[in-house]
């Protein structure tokens, strides 16, 4: 596969994740929150609870979309045949930091909402699936950052010997 083709595929995936994220943040979470508030009989205090949870969940969006911007830049660098560059290593490191921060934010948020009795222990258990995904993204991005940096250093050494 050519660099330009790979870059186009990566950009399409990043754009697709961005669109899916917009649908989740803009439609699924508000709709699901309203349905659950009615199903759980939270009409009286549920409105406040709905807005607290919605604000908390929407608080994860900035890190997600910043990570997508960095991923787009990595794909653009790949298209320009700069796959193994220090810039890509830095961008991947930033993605890892954003994923780690968002994972900690999400875990602590669910835990705090449970401790103040605005959630259930079941939500904490379900949040482990989201937290695991965040940890997986963090580790993958950090490992890729390390490998890309090592490859960039090797490439620089090779360029100097020619």
Half-sphere exposure of 42 (CA within 13 A, CB side): 16
For 58-103, how does the pLDDT look when each residue is reduced to its tens digit (9 = 90+)? 999 999 999 999 999 999 999 999 999 999 999 999 999 999 999 9
* pLDDT recorded at residue 136: 98
pLDDT at 50 over 80: yes
* pLDDT recorded at residue 73: 98
* pLDDT recorded at residue 32: 86
For 119-157, how does the pLDDT look when each residue is reduced to its tens digit (9 = 90+)? 888 889 999 999 999 999 999 999 999 999 999 999 988
From the list 95, 91, 94, 51, the residue with the least C-alpha distance to 73 is 91
Residue 102 and residue 60 in contact, taking contact as beta carbons nearer than 8 Å: yes
The first and second tokens of residue 4, run together, are: 């330009």
pLDDT at 43 over 70: no
For 11-39, how does the pLDDT look when each residue is reduced to its tens digit (9 = 90+)? 999 999 999 999 999 999 999 888 776 66
Q: Which residues, 6+ apart, have CB-to-CB distance to 89 below 8 Å?
A: 145, 146, 148, 149, 152
Residue 91 and residue 74 in contact, taking contact as beta carbons nearer than 8 Å: yes
User: 3-state DSSP helix/strand/coil percent for the chain, to nearest 5?
Assistant: 85, 0, 15
* pLDDT recorded at residue 48: 80
Sign of dihedral through CA atoms 26, 6, 159, 161? positive
């Amino acid at each position: 596969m050519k660099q330009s083709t790979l870059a186009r595929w990566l950009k399409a995936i990043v754009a697709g994740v961005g669109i899916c994220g917009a649908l989740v943040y803009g439609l699924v979470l508000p709709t699901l929150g309203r349905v659950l508030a009615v199903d759980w009989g939270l009409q009286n205090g549920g409105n406040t609870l709905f807005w607290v949870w919605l604000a908390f969940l929407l608080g994860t969006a900035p890190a997600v979309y910043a990570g997508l911007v960095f991923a787009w830049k990595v794909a653009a660098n790949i298209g320009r045949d700069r796959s193994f560059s220090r810039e890509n290593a830095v961008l991947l490191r930033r993605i890892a930091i954003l994923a780690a921060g968002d994972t900690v934010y999400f875990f602590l948020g669910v835990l705090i909402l449970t401790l103040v009795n605005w959630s259930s222990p079941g939500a904490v258990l379900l949040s482990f699936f989201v937290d695991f995904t965040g940890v997986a993204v963090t580790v993958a991005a950090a490992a890729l950052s390390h490998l890309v940096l090592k490859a960039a250093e090797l490439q620089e050494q090779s360029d100097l010997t020619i």
